[in-house]
Structure 1
Amino acid sequence: MRIALAQFNPVVGDLAGNTRKILDLAQEAMRAGADVLVTPELALTGYSPEDLLLRDHFYKACDAALDQLLELDGITLVIGHPVKLGNERFNAATVLRDGNRLGQYHKMLLPNDEVFDECRYFLPGAAPLVFEQNGTKVGVLICEDVWALDPAAETADAGAEVVVVLNASPFHRNKIETRREIVAYRVQETGLPFAYVNMFGGQDELVFDGGSFALNKAGEVVAQAPAFADSLLMVDFDDGDLQVGARTALPGPEESVYRTLVTGVHDYITKNGFPGVLLGLSGGIDSALTLAIAVDALGADKVHAVMMPSRYTADISVDDARDMIARLGVKYEEIAIWPIFESFRGALAPSFAGLAEDTTEENLQARIRGTLLMALSNKTGKLVLTTGNKSEMTTGYATLYGDMAGGFAVLKDVAKTLVYQLAEWRNAQGEVIPRRIIERPPSAELRPDQKDQDSLPPYDVLDAIMQRYVEFNQSAEDIIADGFEESDVCRVVRLLKINEYKRRQAPVGPRITQRAFGKDWRYPITNRFS
């Protein structure tokens, strides 16, 4: 028996387009001699349709798409889709062959943590599903079901000889290795081989990295699809086990994150129909990395960079921005903001009389830049990419309606220290970011001789505290006990709490950690708990 694992990039809600992709993949699989085609979880609708799942007509459209797939002959299809039976909704997989429905499986374990809230939409299933193909009994599981023993054990008890798992498992750092470890546990516990198909593509802040694979009874990887690409992975079941097939090398840690960001930008822009992107280029590391990602995601012809210098902008910032533009060949222009700033300051002079200059004037410069970018966006239809990183979002070192103004926050979940690592990785593939941008001390350049570290702890310290508090849920006391200065910890935690209102107004961006600001992070703005 030959199993085809259909790793592809669906579009949420595009049932017609997703159905066409599945039919095309089925034809390709048949030409390759496959007996069974297995799609990812909710492949018919994309993951996750969120509150579309509360609409009755959405299920009617899903049923109609499934009927279209039912017309295909010559191959068994295992299709991930939502289903409504009476008043009950399930995350399902239906097995179709030659106009017949051989069975339907309902996901047993519904994740309700991190970015997942399936309990909002579905009820858990209660029974295993095993179907027969070419004399072999094939068990079906969906995503979370493989993360615990019971569903797999019930499938084995029902007579399965091999298990296929439909997944929409989003990326975070080290997730590829974790998936393999979890499935290896199930192999060891059940004595069965597993074929695991994962979705590929970006959906708002989630990025699905693909990387489908198969493990034999010994827990060895016998087939491996590429990460971050469409793939039809063939794996043969013979002599009671899955046999060795194609194995593609997987990307390393920095490359995985970089490709996640590229995929996130590409799919957010293309799936939403934007003609391209705009971003403010400052001569600093964050905007330089964002520009490199945008070009890799979309091509230089769809990227427009704007340098908006003030009298505090160093000459080398402009020179380095021009240098990078020359390397990448994107559309570029310079708009001086100081005349606009002087006009604003003149208009505000009566209201500011007797008051000293402070961060108000700094923020005004950032907001002028944001206004210019949004005006260009309105005129061209291109989406503004913001360039702030997770360290800045943690501490509020960003200006509402200024550098936070835009539609997609590329580095929103990327700590500053990781920004430098990604810049070095990208340059190792072909240098596009000038060395001086990487080596210069970071600065917002909103006042004379300004440096980020004038207002924040050193980034290696800040990021370590942020990771422990935000991503690992450690308390301030535990972090201090780990050897961090109490003043630094208290400062970072205080800044985190008082800037929640800013983060709620920030655009979405690609998730690369297990605790990104967005769906992962749900703290009250009005909050007196200390």
Structure 2
Amino acid sequence: MKFAIAQLNPTIGDLAHNAQQVLDAARQADQLGAQVLVTTELVLCGYPPRDLLLRPGFIQAMAQTLDRLAADLPHHLAVLVGFAAANPKARYDGEKPLFNSTALLQGGQVQQVFHKQLLPTYDVFDEHRYFAAGQGPSSFTVPLGDWGLRVGVTICEDLWNDEEFWGGRSYTRNPIADLVAEGVDVVVNLSASPYSVNKAQLRASMLAHSATRFRCPILYVNQVGANDDLIFDGTSMAFNRQGDLVARLPAYQAGLTVVDYDPIARDLHSGEIAPLPTDENEAIWSALVLGVRDYTHKCGFKRAVIGLSGGIDSALVAAIAAAALGPTNVLGILMPSPYSSDHSVTDALALAKALGIAHQTLAIGPLMADYDQVLDPLFAGTSPGVAEENIQSRIRGNLLMAVSNKFGHLLLSTGNKSEMAVGYCTLYGDMNGGLAVIADLPKTRVYALCQWLNQQVGLGRNSAGTLALGALAKGSEGPVAGHGTSPPTLIPANILTKPPSAELKLGQVDQDSLPPYDVLDDILDRLVQRHESVADIVAAGHDAAIVDRVIGLVSRAEFKRRQAPPVLKVTDRAFGMGWRMPIANRWTSEAKLLPLAK
């Protein structure tokens, strides 16, 4: 028999469109001779639906859409569809009102409903807010001649509790072990697992371990696309009883494949195995391009506007936007001030030419003078400082928002994770925007990604065949903006080599205010990502005074991060919905216990 797995890209709340995707996949699976089609977690409403789940009308409409979908599907095909089901016990027993569920649709009806058993409440997940835990094991039978194939059904987190793989359990139950004990022949998993660096490899290792341990084939189907700050890479996979990878769908794009099950061998045959990105930078680039594309289109925008400073951050964001939306749909705005260096302007112009994007220059010197005049009575007798510097950033932010409002362009903010962590950014200035594209990339990764990007263009590569880098580089043949006769590039060489600077005063560079970025980023990684103590960070070779200063900056900048645009998440610890630090907070270092006042 044949299993079809459909890696779909739902839009949250668009029930009709999401149902149509399932229907289209079912018709394709039927044409390919499949008996069972597996889709993704909560595919009918899109994941994560968050507080839409608190609206009774939304849940009712989802149930009605599910019934209509069941009637429209090929009647002989068994289709597993993720949706949110009402919990009839909630009113009486104090349980949550919903289940995170999977419906088995066949013969024009909902035949069975299975509920997710393990509900994650960590990082970006908050499923206990909405869902009651299901009770298992959950399975159904596919008739095959004189006998039936028993298919065990799990949903995302249900797979992530193998104590042998993780070295311990996060939950008391292991749904896979329970299903195997019940004698299922195959386990399927409907998932919506967000992307982060190297997570695809982690999932593959976990699935291979479970398949080998329990001698049971596993088909894993993951959502693809981006919803708000979360990016889903897809990378759906199938493993045979020996733990061998037998099928894989491409990362970062929707698709469907069919995997054969041999009832005599009681195992899966080898099918199509799509290659994965082999370089971390390629994977991150692909994820961010997908994130910008889906956020823009799902929010109803067609074009983007970006402030081009001639620096590395805005250069990378512009390149991502051009790849995601097409160069003709990106507008770069140059806003030089009296403190802007000549190379900032020429570098920004060279970048715009290399990317093939439109650009406009709006000089802000006269506006700065107007602000000085208006504020002079109040600021008289004081020395110029950060307040005056930030006025420049806020002027630029206002101009960019004016362009966004006037033409309906999405403003993409360009700050990186290092700046966001320590507050080296200006509220209502460079933090303005509808999406923070690289705010989960440390500055050192920004440089690495730009260098990788130039290498791909120099080699004439398109990076996984989906990013059209060649089209972006059409204007970059030969020397770029007087930077010599180096190979074709997208990011001008001077942007990669000059010291980073906000250029808000004469001669300013970032390292006037911050430690070198390689030092800062390592401290931040240990503090934010690994939760290391001050003693551990110092023991790793960092100066104690610098560590204390960085920790203080991170704590004091929380109010800024709370007002930032959504941050595209590419690490396990992003400044987004999974980061829940208090703003009014006096814990900045190791506890210093003082005697209480008498």
Q: TM-score, normalised by structure 2?
A: 0.88
Partner Cα separation in structure 2 for residue 409 and residue 393 of structure 1:
10
In 2, are the aligned partners of 1:260 and 1:510 still within 8 Å (CA)? no
* Aligned residue in 2 for 1:416: 443
Partner Cα distance (1:59, 1:178) in 2? 34
Map of 2:479 onto structure 1: none
Q: Partner of 2:99 in structure 1?
A: 90
Counterpart contact for 1:235–1:242, Cα < 8 Å: yes
Q: In 1, Cα distance between the equivalents of 2:285 and 2:545? A: 33
Residues 397-476 of structure 1: pairs in structure 2 closer than 5 A? 397-430=424-457, 431-476=489-534
Give me the whole-angstrom Cα distance separating, in 2, the residues matched to 1:272 and 1:253. Answer: 28
Equivalent residue in structure 2 for 1:241, among 243, 259, 267 = 267
Counterpart CA distance in 1 for 2:217 and 2:276 is 21
Distance in structure 2 (CA, Å) of the matches to 1:404 and 1:505? 9
* Inter-partner Cα distance in structure 2 for 1:233 and 1:435: 43
Aligned-partner SS, 2:339: coil
1:336 equivalent in alignment to 2:363: yes
1:294 aligned residue: 321
Residue in structure 2 matching 1:205, options 225, 229, 233: 229
Structure 1 counterpart of 2:179, from 141, 150, 155: 155
* Amino acid corresponding to residue 46 of structure 2 in structure 1: G
Q: TM-score, normalised by structure 1?
A: 0.99
Tell me by how many angstroms 1:478 deviates. Answer: 1.5
Counterpart AA for 2:390: N
Counterpart CA distance in 1 for 2:282 and 2:184 is: 37
SS of the aligned residue for 1:102 comes to strand
Q: Following TM superposition, by how much is the alpha carbon of 1:460 offset from its aligned partner in structure 2, in angstroms? A: 0.6
Q: State the one-letter code of the partner of 2:159.
A: V
Map of 2:593 onto structure 1: none
Q: Distance between the aligned counterparts of 2:500 and 2:342, measured in 1?
A: 15
Counterpart amino acid of residue 141 in structure 2: E
Q: Distance in 1 between matches of 2:287 and 2:546?
A: 31
Letter in 2 for 1:407: G
> Residue type matched to 2:57 in 1?
H
SS in 1 for 2:289: helix
Displacement of 1:189 = 2.6
Aligned to 2:81: 79
1:147–1:183 CA contact under 8 A, matched in 2: no
Q: Any conservation in 2 of the 1:396–1:495 contact (CA below 8 Å)?
A: yes
CA contact (8 A) 2:6 2:25 kept: yes
Counterpart CA distance in 1 for 2:535 and 2:202 is 29
1:367-406 matches, cutoff 5 A: 367-406=394-433
Q: Report if aligned partners of 1:514, 1:520 keep a CA contact under 8 Å in 2.
A: no
- Does 1:13 pair with 2:6? no
The superposition leaves residues 61-114 of structure 1 with CA deviations (integer Å, 9 ceiling, x where unpaired) of: 111111012112131100111100323310001111112433211100000001
Please name the residue that 2:157 is paired with: 144
Corresponding residue SS for 2:321: helix
CA contact (8 A) 1:102 1:131 kept: no
TM-superposed CA distance for 1:159, in Å, is 2.0
Partner of residue 170 from structure 1, selected from 176, 194, 202:
194
Preserved contact between residue 233 and residue 287 of structure 2 (Cα < 8 Å): yes
Deviations 1:164-204 (A, max 9, x none): 10000000111001111211222133210101000001111
Among 220, 226, 247, which residue is 2:250 paired with?
Answer: 226
CA displacement at 1:488 relative to structure 2: 1.5
The one-letter code sitting in structure 2 at the alignment partner of 1:401 is Y
The equivalent of 2:24 in structure 1 is: 24
CA distance in 2 between partners of 1:188 and 1:248 (Å)? 22
2:110 to 93, 97, 101: 101
- What is the SS of the residue equivalent to 1:82? strand
Q: 2:538 is matched by which residue type in structure 1? A: I
Query: Match for residue 262 of structure 1?
Result: 289
Structure 1: gaps of 5 or more residues: none
Are the equivalent residues in 2 in contact too, given 1:130–1:159 (CA < 8 A)?
Answer: no
Distance 1:104 1:190 in 2: 25
Establish whether residue 189 from structure 1 lines up as the match of residue 218 from structure 2. no
Q: How far 1:312 moved relative to its partner? A: 1.1
Which residue of structure 1 aligns with residue 468 of structure 2?
none
CA distance in 2, matches of 1:103, 1:183: 26
* 1:222 Cα deviation after fit: 0.6
Provide the C-alpha distance between the structure 2 equivalents of 1:12 and 1:522, rounded to a whole number of angstroms: 23
Q: 1:309 aligns with which of 323, 328, 336?
A: 336
Contact 1:103 1:129 in 2 (8 A): no
Corresponding position of 1:350: 377
Amino acid of the residue matched to residue 369 of structure 1?
R
For 2:484, the equivalent position in structure 1 comes to: none
Percent pairwise identity: 48
Length, aligned pairs only: 530
- Of 364-373 and 178-187, deviating more is 178-187
* Counterpart position of 2:239: 215
For 1:168 and 1:337, how far apart are their aligned partners in 2?
45
Q: What is the CA–CA distance in structure 1 between the aligned matches of 2:180 and 2:448, rounded to whole Å? A: 45
Between 1:107-116 and 1:147-156, the stretch displaced more is: 147-156
Q: Deviations over 1:501-523 (max 9, x none)?
A: 00000001210111100112111
SS of 2:550's equivalent in the other structure is: helix
Give the Cα–Cα distance (whole angstroms) in 1 for the partners of residues 69 and 455 of structure 2. 45
Alignment check: 8 A CA contact 1:79 1:94 kept = yes
Letter in 2 for 1:164: V
Measure the CA separation in 1 of the matches of 2:107 and 2:517: 60
Q: Deviations over 1:312-332 (max 9, x none)?
A: 111111111111111222121
Deviation at 1:35, TM superposition (A): 1.0
Quick one: distance in 1 between partners of 2:227 and 2:552?
A: 32
Q: Unaligned stretches of 5+ in structure 2?
A: 91-96, 163-173, 458-488, 589-598
Distance apart, 1:476 and its partner CA: 1.6
Q: CA deviation at 1:235?
A: 1.0
Across the aligned residues of Structure 1 and Structure 2, the Cα RMSD in angstroms comes to 1.0
Query: 3-state SS of the aligned residue for 2:495?
Result: helix
> Residue in 1 aligned with 2:538?
480
What is the distance in 2 between the residues matched to 1:70 and 1:512? Answer: 36
Note if contact 1:130-1:158 (Cα within 8 Å) is conserved in structure 2.
no
- Kindly indicate whether the alpha-carbon contact (under 8 Å) linking 2:117 and 2:175 is maintained by their aligned counterparts in 1: yes
The one-letter code sitting in structure 1 at the alignment partner of 2:120 is: P
Mapping for residues 126-137 of structure 1, pairs under 5 Å: 126-133=135-142, 134=144, 135-137=148-150
- Alpha-carbon distance in 2 for matches of 1:102, 1:220: 32
For the residue of structure 2 that corresponds to 1:429, the secondary structure is helix
Q: Aligned equivalents of 1:77 and 1:164: distance in 2?
A: 12
